[in-house]
């Protein structure tokens, strides 16, 4: 959730940290703060709200000049979003400043123990307890790294932390467990961050710290150890995207930019993976042989939120093309319900960030039960990418908008390829494979055609922007698209919306329909087109306000819908890649017309790294 940035080197740390926090604000924007180590003293600055609020509260640059500092942007877990609870936090003696991502599950027990030692606390946050604990052990051990190690061995829960100390004015110590932390390597300077976006303008050389690793750094060198003080030889990676990926350019919002980037991101998801001669595809990172794939009798796909919706579409695709039964699981529920994983079951976990806490926990649970687990993720070097037995990168590029758009269509594209591969191994004909490969190459151009409807969709959005509720309907593969469309509207416009299988409407939700209820229906020409039309007739009979996503050339739909958004015709399997785009634009424009911050919706953050 939250964002961490730290710097040590020869430059002024304050502007580097502030700029880095601005690039991480999508990870949390309840409050922010920074601490610098200057003249043997800690100087701490905090503000409620955006990073610009923190920036405005800072003294003159000469006052905040320091070569070392840490900063944090917060998404509140323990304690309300106010200045007192904002990070950095200090310990009992005022010698350390600490920033923290994650949740300390045993903080109450630790707090009680420290209270018996005479410690006094000013907040109800778990992070303040952690700061006191770390400072206590540094004093006890009389060593910066050793004190952090000893303290963290008592901690239950998740953490990504960075610490500075008045007695060690040229060092930062950072550590992680279950919350991402990255070391950036510059020229006689180092960075610590929870997301590479914060430091990409300074360096592309990074080390992705692993769980249980601690790094001590100054401007000349770094040392990585485990919590047991065993030396670690880390691999330096090169980030494969640049700063333009995390800038808005000419777009007003990141979300709109990322919607438009789907022309490229979908193509990147299948680029180099099509095998025309064999009428199939390849996903080289799966780390599984053809024979092993042929033996798969069941598949489980695990995800959260938008990734779960992509998984539902994947279920339809795989069962249709490969005739392999697929279960889709909520990651947040998976390990708490004693899941059954039969032999010859292949498990996929889907996460844009590769750091989603619930999905990572599900991955580990499935592996502990002997399953082979493959990851579908966007972020190279992420924890899921490292810990899964193999997997696929979706190559969507940096996604900054909290409401996911291009990652969703890239995930669906990869699942399309997986369905083809499995289908061709089973019974799917070469002719179908040829048709599939030809059509998938046309999808980016067809997405671009849908994007050309942006102004029309904005006008439609104006007709529903004051609605209190909305209903999204779809059947088959379009039901998950309806769920995704409703989620987007909820996330950024704060209008209550629900997605339903269209036929289920008459089993309850139809009671809600009146002239004030917008009903967004995905009514494309497919095998069950006539069924969805029947459902829409039921809506119209009750004066529902219908907005239909329809196939180009379908004139009949106009008799039912007040507004029709036409998308290009394509094979059934690719329809979700087109039908979701107008729903993304509709949600965007409704939220924008309502005057809300599209990129930073309330109470949400981009990467959910806590349970």
Catalytic residue list: 2, 606
The bridge status of strand 469-474 relative to strand 390-393 is: unpaired
CB burial string 59-72: b at 16+ within 10 A, e below: eeeeebebbbbbbb
524 and 450 Cβ atoms separated by less than 8 Å: no
Query: Within 10 Å of residue 142's Cβ, how many Cβ atoms?
Result: 9
Element (H, E) at 302: strand 298-303
Nearest 10 degrees: Cα torsion 373, 378, 384, 387? 70
The crossing angle, in degrees rounded to 10, of helices 406-426 and 262-270 is 30
Tell me how far apart the alpha carbons of residues 147 and 161 are, in angstroms, rounded to a whole number: 14
Tell me how far apart the alpha carbons of residues 261 and 266 are, in angstroms, rounded to a whole number: 9
Nearest CA to 319 out of 502, 478, 476, 437 is that of: 476
- List strand residue ranges (DSSP E) for 323-460, in order: 326-330, 345-351, 372-377, 390-393
- List strand residue ranges (DSSP E) for 112-212, in order: 159-165, 168-177, 182-185, 190-193, 205-208
- List strand residue ranges (DSSP E) for 104-181, in order: 159-165, 168-177
Phi, psi angle pair for 266, to nearest 5°: -65, -40
Separate counts of helices (H) and strands (E) for the chain: 19, 26
Tally the residues of the chain.
611
- List strand residue ranges (DSSP E) for 118-259, in order: 159-165, 168-177, 182-185, 190-193, 205-208, 213-217, 222-226, 237-238
Nearest CA to 383 out of 22, 101, 600, 190 is that of: 101
Q: Which residues 6+ apart lie within 8 Å of 257 measured at CB?
A: 248, 249, 251, 401
Token couple for 336: 């708490």
Token couple for 486: 């409703």
Nearest CA to 450 out of 571, 278, 566, 296 is that of: 566
Tell me how far apart the alpha carbons of residues 213 and 211 are, in angstroms, rounded to a whole number: 6
Tell me how far apart the alpha carbons of residues 609 and 26 are, in angstroms, rounded to a whole number: 13
């Amino acid at each position: 959730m939250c964002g961490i940035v730290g710097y040590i080197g020869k430059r002024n740390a304050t502007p580097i940290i502030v700029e880095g926090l601005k690039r991480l604000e999508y990870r949390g924007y309840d409050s922010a703060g920074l601490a610098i180590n200057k003249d043997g003293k800690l100087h701490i600055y905090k503000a409620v709200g955006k990073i610009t609020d923190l920036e405005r509260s800072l003294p003159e640059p000469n006052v905040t000049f320091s070569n070392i500092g840490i900063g944090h942007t917060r998404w509140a877990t323990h304690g309300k979003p106010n200045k007192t609870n904002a990070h950095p936090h200090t310990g009992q003696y005022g010698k350390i400043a600490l920033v923290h991502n994650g949740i300390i599950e045993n903080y109450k027990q630790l707090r009680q123990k420290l209270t018996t030692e005479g410690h006094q606390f000013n907040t109800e946050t778990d992070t303040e307890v952690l700061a006191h604990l770390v400072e206590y052990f540094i004093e006890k051990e009389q060593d910066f790294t050793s004190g952090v190690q000893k303290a963290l061995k008592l901690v239950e829960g998740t953490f990504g932390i960075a610490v500075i100390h008045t007695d060690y004015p040229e060092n930062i110590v950072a550590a992680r467990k279950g919350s991402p932390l990255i070391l950036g390597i510059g020229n006689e300077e180092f960075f610590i961050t929870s997301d590479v976006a914060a430091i990409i303008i300074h360096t592309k050389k990074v080390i992705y710290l692993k769980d249980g690793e601690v790094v001590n750094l100054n401007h000349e060198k770094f040392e990585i150890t485990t919590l047991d003080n065993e030396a670690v030889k880390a691999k330096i990676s090169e980030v494969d995207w640049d700063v333009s990926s995390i800038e808005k350019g000419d777009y007003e919002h990141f979300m709109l930019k990322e919607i438009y980037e789907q022309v490229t991101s979908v193509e990147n998801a299948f680029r180099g993976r099509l095998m025309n001669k064999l009428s199939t595809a390849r996903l080289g990172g799966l780390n599984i042989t053809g024979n092993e794939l042929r033996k798969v009798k069941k598949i489980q796909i695990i995800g959260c939120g938008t990734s779960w919706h992509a998984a539902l579409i994947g279920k339809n695709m795989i069962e249709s093309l490969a005739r392999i039964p697929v279960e889709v699981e909520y990651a947040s529920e998976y390990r708490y319900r004693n899941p059954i994983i039969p032999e010859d079951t292949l498990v996929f976990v889907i996460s844009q960030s590769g750091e989603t806490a619930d999905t990572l926990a599900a991955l580990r649970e499935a592996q502990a039960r002997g399953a082979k687990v493959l990851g579908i993720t966007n972020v190279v070097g992420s924890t899921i990418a490292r810990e899964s037995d193999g997997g696929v990168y979706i190559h969507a590029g940096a996604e900054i908008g909290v409401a996911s758009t291009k990652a969703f269509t890239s995930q669906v594209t990869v699942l399309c390829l997986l369905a083809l591969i499995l289908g061709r191994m089973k019974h799917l004909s070469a002719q179908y494979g040829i048709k599939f490969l030809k059509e998938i190459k046309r999808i980016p151009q067809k997405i671009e055609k849908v994007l050309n409807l942006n102004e029309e969709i904005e006008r439609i959005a104006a007709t529903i922007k004051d609605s209190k509720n909305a209903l999204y309907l779809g059947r088959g593969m379009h039901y998950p698209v309806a769920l995704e469309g409703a989620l987007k509207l909820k996330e950024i416009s704060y209008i209550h919306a629900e997605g339903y299988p269209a036929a289920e409407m008459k089993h309850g939700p139809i009671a809600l329909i009146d002239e004030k209820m917008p009903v967004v229906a995905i009514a494309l020409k497919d095998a069950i087109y006539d069924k969805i039309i029947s459902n829409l007739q039921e809506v119209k009979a009750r004066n529902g306000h219908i907005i239909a996503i329809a196939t180009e050339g379908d004139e009949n739909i106009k008799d039912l819908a007040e507004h029709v958004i036409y998308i290009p015709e394509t094979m059934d399997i690719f329809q979700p890649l087109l039908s979701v785009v107008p729903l993304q634009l509709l949600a965007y424009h409704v939220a924008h017309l309502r005057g809300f911050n599209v990129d930073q919706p309330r109470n949400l953050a981009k990467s959910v790294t806590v349970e």
